[in-house]
Amino acid sequence: MTRKIVKSKYHFEPDLIETIGEVSIEEIKPWGSNDELKIIGKPTSRIDGAVKVSGEAVYTSDVILPNMVYAKILRSPHPNAQIKNIDTSEAEQLEGVLYILTYKNAPEIGWYYNTSYLFDKQVRYQGDEVACVAAESEKIAEDALHLIKVEYENLPFVTDAVEALKDNSPKVHEWGNLPRGNPDKYKRGDVEKGLKEADLVIEDTFTTQVVVHNTTEPHCSVAKWEGSKLTVWDSTQAIFNVRDSIAASLQIPASSVRVIKKYMGGGFGSKLEAGKYSVIAALISRKIKRPVKIVLDRREENLAVGNRPNSIQTLKAGVKKDGTLTALSHHSIGSIGAYPDGAGCSWPLRTIYKCENVSTEEYSVFTNTGKSRAYRAPGHVQGTFGLESLIDIAAEKIGMDPLEFRLKNYTDKDQVYNIPYTSKKLKDAYEKGANAIGWHRRNKVPGSSNGILKRGIGMATQIWWGGGGPPAYATLKLNRDGSVNVMAGTQDLGTGTYTFIAQVASEVLQLPIEKISITIGDTETCPYCGASGGSTTAASVAPAVRDAAEQMKAKLISGAAAILETSEEKLIYAEGIISVKNDPSKKITIHEIISKMRERVLVTTGARSANPEGYMINTFGAQFAEVEVDTFTGKVRVIKIVAAHDIGRVLNPKTLENQFHGGIIQGLGYALMEERKVDSNTGKVLTANLYSYLIPTIMDTPEIEVIIVSEGDSMISSVGAKGVGEPAIIPTAAAIAHAVYNAIGVRIKSLPITPDKVLNALTLIKR
């Protein structure tokens, strides 16, 4: 296919994304909703399932190289301190210790937008990097850490975002406690005018907690030099980002760095950035001329590799008696930790509901705590809890059913850019989700049921991006024996990427999935694909794979036409065999075509097409929750979650359900139990392990019903798929919170909804 280079423009929340990439001039006809697809949309077992459950799959933490060295990082025990001196002499004398890296001998590598160095003389949170020991074993490295003597000068600290905004607060950075661009403000229409036009004005405050990713596989890297070439095995969601970050940090060409990631035990956004540990491993490996491995432990996972920021959201709504929203405003404060990131959470309020008058003001605040990072739908989970709580309150105040209120303020246009969506089936999600949960059964008067165990039903709405886009490429190699290898520089986080790539190739070439092998996660052997975040992987990569497969199919038909001495229009392609329409005896196999062409391998490279301009690409959904609240103990038990979503074409129902189950269980943890707790007196984390930091278990998991109301979105790509990773978690906590209110009659406005909060709320009712 002929190609051209284009600029693709599309909106992702407040940003206009512009990318330059190569696309095919000849557009592939999108699969239609009535097309007979044999593999796509059918339940397909993971092609990498067997190697994972058998233990054969090699994760980054499993990588063992000859002559490999193990390294451990010494981290600050203080929330804010100046390092006066480091004495490593005793540690250096420990047998088996090979090298110790500190600020004294580390190069001045800028990090986090030049706000600190790889090792800084000032540590700004408990867990900040102080030194790294490389030794013959992990145990020796750990023992050596205890022998390093560090003289600290403790400095005043602040761990609360509200306190950090005060003029007399300790400064996390010398310029203050706000990053550049803060506060972030947005406005459309006239909020004050809208409030005056309202029959009712509602204002309330909602808070959410800091939660930690706690991935099954910890953050880890293995670095190995061969001359001037560096190979890094990294547990990452973004192999090319890691490659470029490491190359820039070491001031070497990106072509000198190879990053490999084959299998991975979860990321949830925490592994989208290159870690300091990866650069440290590379530096030490270059120094001692041996491979170096760093695997963070669970305590480090809870201190130093990111979190979802908290939020304090004050929301206001103007409402008419008929349910029309006349104004919405949002003011939020969130802690981003010690280094730059973002804590904004107003996007759901700006976009979900039709409202002409909207204003938001958001503060992302530095504190002496671990840095925030993207966490599965960053901002949306917090913002949806606040917004949807306000919507439920507004509906109740005017005596309207919460679902009816949402339908009253439904919109078919994006509210920020005033452009239509490529597709939106949220109304279908409302209808089917409500029927599945039995919405009619909810308490008409919240808390009105009798007995100690009270049941309630609630719901919440979701919006997210997930449309994907270019550049994303896939190379397909067809071998003489009819086997296929597809290569793409993407990542599988445990979400089924290997499988959907094989499905797409199998669908187009009509070959058994068993004949298709997949190579991903290698910057040297695979063509470029973007990071696996934002629910963009399938939406970006699947169309590129289809493009490569369609090119290969066309190439085979062209070759068959030449060999059979007929025109391409007279040929039929079926299950890897090409035959003449009116003479089935004249046929030829893939093996025969390649042999007669004297080729050992046929190669094509496909590209993801540009997104349509003038449209918004979003996913939508609604989740409905039924809960049971023990009013004696305060414990909340989630009985059932119904997740009804519009996510474009379903590539694989099996892995789609996996994604929804995982996201909903994470959302349940966010709603009821997960919380990073920091002692405000000492600045130290009290929940730095999986004993004190609670996550849901199988005993907490409810019945989950997933309903997909959408078909392929033909406007966005030839495949029509959107992402599901983020939509799965966004509305869960809000739906559970509303169900709790429906059960007990008192609204809990602070997450997580723990038994003590329930009991305190019930006590207030009795008073």
- How many angstroms separate the CA atoms of 309 and 303, rounded? 13
Q: Which listed residue (129, 507, 657, 726) is catalytic? A: 726
The DSSP H or E segment spanning 493 is none
Convert 336-401 into a string of H (helix), E (strand) and C (coil): EECCCCCCCCCHHHHHCCCCCCEEEEEEEEECCCCCCCCCCCCCHHHHHHHHHHHHHHHHHHCCCC
- How many angstroms separate the CA atoms of 286 and 657, rounded? 44
**Distance linking the first and last C-alpha atoms of the chain:** 74
- How many angstroms separate the CA atoms of 458 and 734, rounded? 8
| Kind of pairing between the strands at 149-154 and 220-226 | unpaired
Q: How many CB atoms lie within 10 A of CB 219?
A: 25
Number of H helices, E strands in the chain: 18, 30
Under 8 Å between Cβ of 343 and 361: no
Structure token digits, residue 84 = 């006066």
For the sheet containing 184-188, what is the strand order?
A: 184-188, 358-366, 325-337, 311-319, 200-208
- How many angstroms separate the CA atoms of 495 and 269, rounded? 13
Give Cα separations from 193 to 126, 198, 216, 407 (angstroms).
Answer: 47, 9, 50, 24
Task: Answer yes or no: 217 catalytic.
Answer: no
- How many angstroms separate the CA atoms of 702 and 696, rounded? 11
Under 8 Å between Cβ of 670 and 211: yes
Three-state secondary-structure class, residue 177: coil
Give Cα separations from 179 to 5, 112, 175, 176 (angstroms).
Answer: 36, 12, 9, 8
Long-range CB pairs of 251-256, under 8 A, 24+ apart, other chains included: 252/228, 256/228, 256/229, 256/230
Burial 124-151 (b: 16+ CB within 10 A, else e): bbbbbbbbbbbbeebebbebbbebbebe
- How many angstroms separate the CA atoms of 481 and 601, rounded? 10
Give Cα separations from 199 to 36, 109, 134, 400 (angstroms).
Answer: 53, 58, 68, 14
Under 8 Å between Cβ of 573 and 566: no
Catalytic residue list: 726
